[in-house]
Structure 1
Amino acid sequence: MKNFFKNTGPGPLVAAAFIGPGTVTICTMAGVNFGFTLLWAMTLSILATLVLQEMAARLGIISQKGLSEIIRTEINNPVLKSFTVILILSAIVIGNAAYEAGNISGGVLGLETFTGTTKIELLGFSINFLSVLIGLIAFILLYFGNYKVIESALITLVILMSLAFLTTAILTKPNISNIFKGMFIPTFPENGLLVVIGLIGTTVVPYNLFLHASLVKEKWKRKSDLSFARKDTYIAVVLGGLVSVCIIISAASIQNMDVLNASDLAKGLEPLFGNFAKYFLAIGLFAAGITSAITAPLAAAYVACGCLGFKSDLKSKKFRGIWMFILLLGVLLSSLNIKPIDIIKFAQVANGILLPVIVIVLIWIMNKSSVLGVYRNNIKQNILGIFILCITILLSISALNKVFGLNIF
């Protein structure tokens, strides 16, 4: 057991990153509106994430470089390089700044189940004290902690989150055979396509590829460690997917109620299963919010430093300056309850374009002997990668459709 935890590392951080308040919300809507019928979308999402994150982990360990660093050095065409770097910075850095407020607000929703509303009036503004508290916790971990401290804190929170949502799902006493049917038999209920794309889109996350490639080289330095990295990735991604499945199962038990977010889900569970379900869900939502609030600024810092040629060091001033900006902006927008709609729309467009571009670039890099040698992709890995590329193109069209109202679907 001691050896298991010793070789547990970046995987749970990746799971922590994709299980955020947005994931909780889309999974809640999937469960309430479609029951167990869209669980297969999570099965597909988990498989796609496993394939892509294994590539990112393998790239980081073998090259001992982050994905953004390799993109900057391997793309020789100056126009293509500039386009790719600008797109990455726009989607990851600006996008994470916009989404950070949602991450912090999700953690606040969980805490408010226990504390009630904690707004204070200051200089004519109504400030939510809990947003500042969550921001402070994230700041302390990122500023004073080294990689091992951050890793341990996030692993603890992921375990807490997993147990909370798993317990909530068990309390609803679901039909096991219907769960397995939903997980492995694809169905397309009316008006369900966008929810399917949303479930996949909140799991197959572009910034996780950058985060994972950067973090594995902090944990492992030898090529022989690749087997540890793979086990770590597979276990963590499956565990993260299980959390999403549990949220869908919990939400599916709610009948005849308008449920739009996790807060509504907590209210809906209370009369059916008592206060315990509500509190377990609140703990899970808090953990989901705070883990994403920590990983989003961290990922943005790794990406920006890699793209701009800065040193990717947790203690460097430039690295700290980037994540501090992301975190501070998130705290301000969350505590003042400001929603930067235009920035979020821009981030959605950038992320929608970025995902298929990065999958193409990742597959290309994973086939370069000059970067990976004998560890480059085999035929099976390339076939899976191309299949996932088709999925990411569908996600991209969906994101653009959502922002511009193209009515493609």
Structure 2
Amino acid sequence: MILKFLKNIGPGPLVAAAFIGPGTVTVCTLAGVNFGFALLWAMVLSVFATVILQEMAARLGVVAQKGLSEIIREEIKYPLVKGGVMLLIISAVVLGNAAYEAGNISGGALGVEAITGNLSWTIGVLQLNGASVIIGVMAFILLYIGNYKVLEKAFIVLVILMSLAFIITAILTKPNLLDVFKGLIVPETPKGSILTIVALIGTTVVPYNLFLHASLAKTKWKSDRDLALAKRDTVVAVVLGGTVSMCVIISASAIQMQDIKSASDLALGLEPLFGRFSKYFLAIGLFAAGVTSAITAPLAAAFVASGCLGWGSDLKSRKFRAVWMAIVLLGVLFSSLGFKSIEIIKLAQVANGLLLPVVAGFLLWVMNKSSVLGKYVNTKKQNALGILIMVVTIVLGLKGVLTVFNVI
């Protein structure tokens, strides 16, 4: 039974790993430290929205056997509009992921350094962070192999490691279960929490994941008979990922200090309460989160660029490799040079929350085209849920912008 389940696991773990990166850990840490359990409901909303949208992306990949950016390029008939949309997608996803990569690698490096201490290498006038280089090399090797099955197996191991690490950490804090349950079902917006709520949604319902999922689904499954497997894979992986994010919030809520700004600070804050082993659990989780995100961000960017520019999506093609290589290299460079990623990560998550309605709008448009999906177009219920998610994210995004400019 277990072997059959493992055999049918698809891109779900990659999608879950993509949204549980150091950015998610950082935002969830800040949410827990600053607002306790009050924002757990935002994670429940995020998981629900992610399941709805990622199921659409997976169905699109399985049925159409094409990536989302590829289909958008083919379905827009007006050259000027097509050029503008492709430019928007490439700018938002490819350039955005290049910025993310430094944060992903920095986050994974924090996990390594929590155990090994500071690793610094000097090459001529250049001083490199050794942990960042290790994370970058691991990402490079796994991506260069260019084999989906190898990536899939690596991610299953890393996601299991990450999940166990954060779940055990949350259990160690012995939270009040009634307060946790209240936080899950009663929406609250404490003063100053709007940007954090937008960031929690942006770090879970990741726009680039919609592109990544469609591209990977067509690699894993080749027939509409596999749609049930694709849906189950999506639901299990996203719910597990959401549970891990909630565990980080719960862990951070246990700390009675306000000067925590990152997950590495969370490890230090937990150590006096639960002993030095809590540091190791968090270090393992942060390392796994960093490695997985350091792989998925360049991979998604390469899929998007290939689809937008009509290159095809062969993982071993030179153009495909050139995109992810550039992003990994930039990530290692900026991370090694001491690039301060914590505030950048949080701002990037907010930007994700603002970009989401745009990408979701394109996805909904494609999901209603019978020329692409035939009888597998969205039902009225699926469209209603998709539109509801868009409206909620637009409202929260606008409130976030107004908050930034001190209008509200």
* Bin for the TM-score computed over the shorter chain: over 0.9
Instruction: Say whether the 8 Å CA contact 1:56–1:213 is kept in structure 2.
Output: yes
The alignment partner of 2:204 has SS state of: coil
Letter in 1 for 2:210: L
Match of 2:360 in 1: 359
Instruction: Say whether the 8 Å CA contact 1:91–1:350 is kept in structure 2.
Output: no
TM-score (norm: length of structure 2): 0.95
Instruction: Say whether the 8 Å CA contact 2:33–2:257 is kept in structure 1.
Output: no
Distance 1:342 1:306, change over 3 A: farther
Letter in 2 for 1:151: E
Match of 1:12 in 2: 13
Match of 1:225 in 2: 226
Regions of 4+ moved over 6 Å: 340-350
- Deviation, structure 1 residue 83: 1.6
Match of 1:406 in 2: 405
Match of 1:369 in 2: 370
Match of 1:79 in 2: 80
For residues 69-89 of structure 1, the C-alpha deviation after alignment (integer angstroms, 9 at most, x for no partner) is 000001112222112111110
Match of 1:209 in 2: 210
Unaligned residue ranges in structure 2 (runs of 5+): none
- Deviation, structure 1 residue 196: 1.2
Instruction: Say whether the 8 Å CA contact 2:12–2:233 is kept in structure 1.
Output: yes
Match of 1:251 in 2: 252
- Deviation, structure 1 residue 340: 9.0
- Deviation, structure 1 residue 193: 1.6
Unaligned residue ranges in structure 1 (runs of 5+): none
Match of 1:139 in 2: 140
The alignment partner of 2:187 has SS state of: coil
Hey, what's the Cα distance between the residues in 1 that align with 2:200 and 2:141? 32
Matched, 1:302 2:269: no
Instruction: Say whether the 8 Å CA contact 2:23–2:346 is kept in structure 1.
Output: no
Percent identity between the two aligned chains: 65
TM-score (norm: length of structure 1): 0.95
For residues 179-219 of structure 1, the C-alpha deviation after alignment (integer angstroms, 9 at most, x for no partner) is 11111111121111221111111111110000000000100
Letter in 2 for 1:305: S
Distance 1:343 1:281, change over 3 A: closer
Match of 2:64 in 1: 63
For residues 277-332 of structure 1, the C-alpha deviation after alignment (integer angstroms, 9 at most, x for no partner) is 11101110111111000000000000000000002011111111111111111111
- Deviation, structure 1 residue 172: 0.6
- Deviation, structure 1 residue 97: 0.6
- Deviation, structure 1 residue 366: 0.8
Hey, what's the Cα distance between the residues in 2 that align with 1:185 and 1:10? 32
- Deviation, structure 1 residue 349: 9.1
- Deviation, structure 1 residue 376: 0.6
Paired residues, number: 407
Distance 1:347 1:251, change over 3 A: closer
Hey, what's the Cα distance between the residues in 2 that align with 1:90 and 1:372? 27
The alignment partner of 1:272 has SS state of: helix
Give me the CA root mean square deviation: 2.0
Match of 2:284 in 1: 283
Hey, what's the Cα distance between the residues in 2 that align with 1:245 and 1:340? 22
Hey, what's the Cα distance between the residues in 2 that align with 1:59 and 1:180? 35
- Deviation, structure 1 residue 120: 2.0
Match of 1:92 in 2: 93
Matches within 5 A, 1:170-189: 170-189=171-190
Matched, 1:382 2:395: no
Instruction: Say whether the 8 Å CA contact 2:202–2:352 is kept in structure 1.
Output: no
Instruction: Say whether the 8 Å CA contact 2:22–2:104 is kept in structure 1.
Output: yes
- Deviation, structure 1 residue 121: 2.4
- Deviation, structure 1 residue 125: 2.6
Hey, what's the Cα distance between the residues in 1 that align with 2:121 and 2:267? 25
Distance 1:350 1:260, change over 3 A: closer
Letter in 2 for 1:168: T
Matches within 5 A, 1:289-328: 289-328=290-329
Letter in 2 for 1:328: L
Letter in 1 for 2:405: L
Distance 1:298 1:174, change over 3 A: same
